[in-house]
Structure 1
Amino acid sequence: MIWLNPRAATPGFVPRTATMTAALTYVDLLLPADSFADLLRVPGEVARHARRG
């Protein structure tokens, strides 16, 4: 599962609510999505993650 979060670009960001913390156990990638440039980087990050398998 890929979670795109606009706050993920903030240094030191950690989801703090109980539900988001619980969801992290199912997340393969937590990526920033606060700009169009961040969204353009998503395919490359997914490909890199897939190669690590």
Structure 2
Amino acid sequence: MPQLQRKRKITHDSLQPKKRVVLTHAQKRQLCLDSQKTPRLTQQELAAIYK
């Protein structure tokens, strides 16, 4: 069991940048409105808008 905890800690302490962005309620609402206007937005386009 201690080995498992060490492995988790090593991966947790890695210096990789955070990949996820948390949107506010207003941003989520705007995202829904934008997706109704242009329903074919790709993940890359969304990332560029809400980065």
- Which is higher, the Rg of structure 1 or of structure 2? 2
Tell me which protein shows more helix as a share of its residues.
2
- Normalised to the residue count of structure 1, the TM-score between the two structures is 0.29
**Normalization by structure 2: what TM-score?**
0.30
Higher strand fraction (1 or 2): 1
